[in-house]
Chains A and B, each alone.
Chain A
């Protein structure tokens, strides 16, 4: 018996070792892709395999990054974009969830508004950009409005359908205790829709970035979107690519933050 236990233990060790090896291998390939992409880019640019004026090079981008960091302009632009995105994300998600709740609460309202929601959802929201700028002025407010408008309708629709899909038997349990509509919402509808709400958060991270960057393209005053459009106009593609990389980094960080929140909330499901 003791021998078999030892055997199982050694098999287990082998299993753990093989899993670790697998993980290291994956990490190695991920790193290899990263390193070879940037080195190939650098080499291709220096050897003029690609036009360095259009495609820049990692070293040129890095130099520009250090320079822009030193004169503080990068920090200002990044800060303003990040603020706009966070506000657009939060307002869009919260307002969407509230609208979803409102539709659940008043079924007749939901039925009435259904065709309008379909139209708004199908419409490319960025096309409203010029109208927003005219209405709210070319600045901070209309850019945030872009971030909000792009995510709010889809959030409303997804959250509302999650509320509707709650297992009717949970509501039955509550109703046998004589629960009011508000109690049903608080005890069953809202908590059971949390997974869906979290997954819309993840989608909204991406959407609010789209909204804000497009807004900055149109307003062209401040922010990373402005740096991209300015770089494009003066043919400084190092600036365009640098802004892109900063955006990629920040949106990844935001996405990861949402993932961490998700893990915390989903502990017991």
Chain B
């Protein structure tokens, strides 16, 4: 059995007037240490899927297993990173990165030191006493990554974490996140609508159709690209070949609607 098993998950949002099905019959397995991307147009339920895996919402149908256990038992096993950093502006960077540990009641000298070491690793040494407003967008998103990793989650859920950044910062951060996840051997799920980002970072790509969200195709990223860091992968000839085929597939999805 895989590290993460999503078994026939469907989710419908109810309001008094409508019932909108966001996800329909999603099943897949992710191995430990694997990097998987969900690619698709907006409104295909990608964020809903991440919220279900993060145990924030309960799916209408289906089950999610982490290391063979259902989600209720494995609560808060995932670290979640949002589109924006959502650092708390009234807390210092140190207070922000220790927030998860504090909430989970696992803040000790050891875990605190680990979080501060992580801050150092990610290149933010010396900003502990700063407030988020004193940092640039890229630095803030890096601090948010430290906050997510500080609790040592089993897997990382990335919900378009680079979409609010300028292109150069985004490329640098992709590189940094990729390297960090490889160093700490984390399983990661990335939601994105950027084809290039999905290819550059992941091992496998699930292509989603919209309304309702369904997995229409799975792309396996070739070994040559997987071994390369995101920036190097973008330069590889195989990259544009895969880009083209995903592009065509997405285009077809749009026209078939």
From B86, B104, B131, give the contact of A173 (CB < 8 A): B86
The reply to whether the CB of A47 lies closer than 8 angstroms to some CB of chain B is no
Interface residues in B69-109 by Cβ distance below 8 A to A read 75-76, 78-80, 82, 84, 86, 88-90, 99-100, 103-104
Interface centre among B99, B103, B104 (most CB of A within 10 A): B103
Where the two chains meet, the residues of A that have a C-beta atom closer than 8 Å to any C-beta of B are 167, 169-170, 172-179, 183, 187-188, 191-192, 194, 268-269
A179→B88 contact, CB < 8 A = no
Distance of A192 Cα from B86 Cα, bound (Å): 12
Smallest Cβ distance from B151 to chain A, in angstroms?
A: 6
From B88, B99, B133, give the contact of A177 (CB < 8 A): B99
Distance of A191 Cα from B92 Cα, bound (Å): 13
Distance of A172 Cα from B79 Cα, bound (Å): 11
Residue of A whose beta carbon sits closest to that of B103 = A177
A169→B86 contact, CB < 8 A = yes
Distance of A183 Cα from B131 Cα, bound (Å): 21
B131→A178 contact, CB < 8 A = no
The reply to whether the CB of B207 lies closer than 8 angstroms to some CB of chain A is no
B88→A170 contact, CB < 8 A = yes
A172→B88 contact, CB < 8 A = no
Residues of B within 8 A of A269 (CB): 89-90, 133
The reply to whether the CB of B135 lies closer than 8 angstroms to some CB of chain A is no
If A174-B103, A178-B103 touch, whether A187 touches B131 (CB-CB below 8 Å) is no
Residue of B whose beta carbon sits closest to that of A265 = B90
B76→A178 contact, CB < 8 A = yes
If A173-B80, A177-B151, A178-B104 touch, whether A268 touches B88 (CB-CB below 8 Å) is no
A169→B103 contact, CB < 8 A = no
The reply to whether the CB of B56 lies closer than 8 angstroms to some CB of chain A is yes
Distance of A167 Cα from B83 Cα, bound (Å): 14
Distance of A183 Cα from B78 Cα, bound (Å): 19
From B56, B89, B90, give the contact of A176 (CB < 8 A): B56
Distance of A179 Cα from B105 Cα, bound (Å): 10
If A172-B80, A176-B78, A178-B76 touch, whether A188 touches B56 (CB-CB below 8 Å) is no
Distance of A30 Cα from B90 Cα, bound (Å): 37
Smallest Cβ distance from A183 to chain B, in angstroms?
A: 6
Residue of A whose beta carbon sits closest to that of B80 = A176
The reply to whether the CB of B54 lies closer than 8 angstroms to some CB of chain A is yes
Residues of A within 8 A of B84 (CB): 169
Interface centre among A176, A179, A187, A194 (most CB of B within 10 A): A176
B75→A178 contact, CB < 8 A = yes
If A169-B84, A169-B86, A183-B103 touch, whether A176 touches B54 (CB-CB below 8 Å) is yes
Distance of A269 Cα from B131 Cα, bound (Å): 9
19 inter-chain pairs at a CB distance below 8 angstroms, sorted by A residue, are: A169-B86, A170-B88, A172-B80, A172-B86, A173-B86, A174-B103, A176-B54, A176-B78, A177-B76, A177-B100, A177-B103, A177-B151, A178-B75, A178-B104, A187-B88, A187-B103, A188-B88, A268-B89, A268-B131
Distance of A268 Cα from B95 Cα, bound (Å): 14
A177→B104 contact, CB < 8 A = yes
From B86, B89, B103, give the contact of A179 (CB < 8 A): B103
Residues of A within 8 A of B54 (CB): 176
Residue of B whose beta carbon sits closest to that of A173 = B86
